[in-house]
Structure 1
Amino acid sequence: MASAYVLIEAAPKKARAACGKIAKLSGVCSAHLVTGPYYIIALGEGKDPAAIGKLVMARIQAVDGVGRTITCVVV
């Protein structure tokens, strides 16, 4: 099992809605609005790092309002 924190930039007026949608995605354990350079931090899990990559690229980045993401794999 692989885990990763995903730091997510979002459009300021869409961050709350985007966070709610991200939290409901399969593979996302939790998603929170935060202060700082990123609006959302999500914790994702998958069978391996490639599955995490698919989660981020195919599902998280497809959410309306999501901009740039940075994925930090837990070691």
Structure 2
Amino acid sequence: MKAYILINAGLGVVSDVLDDLRKINEIKSANSTAGPYDIIAFMESSDLSSLGDTIVQKIQKVPGVSKTLTCIIIE
């Protein structure tokens, strides 16, 4: 499964959050953005269950992450 994760981070911590996200094996890229979200990350996982586990157990636990929105790629 592939997905884009839109992430909001606390003030002044976007660089630190990016560094931590890039250490997660399932995340293939992570970039800061302008607009309603601070970061967009692209990730791959073997199935929906592992995708959810990565988001809840790894991405949302990164210090500074305040909100995530997952967009699963269907085609």
TM range (shorter): over 0.9
The question of 1:20 aligning with 2:5 is answered no
TM-score (ref. length: structure 1): 0.94
Structure 1 residue 66, shift from structure 2 partner: 0.2
Give the aligned length.
74
Percent sequence identity over aligned pairs: 34
8 Å Cα contact 1:49/1:73 also seen in 2: no
TM-score, length of structure 2 as denominator length = 0.94
Q: Which has the higher helix share?
A: 1
Tell me the amino acid that sits aligned with residue 36 of structure 1: G
Deviation at 1:26? 1.4
Q: Which residue of 2 aligns with 1:46?
A: 45
Structure 1: 4+ residue segments shifted above 4 A = none
Distance 2:10 2:21 in 1: 14
Deviations 1:20-47 (CA, angstroms, capped at 9, x unpaired)? 1101111110100111011010011100
Could you tell me which runs of 5 or more consecutive residues in structure 1 were left unpaired when the two chains were aligned: none
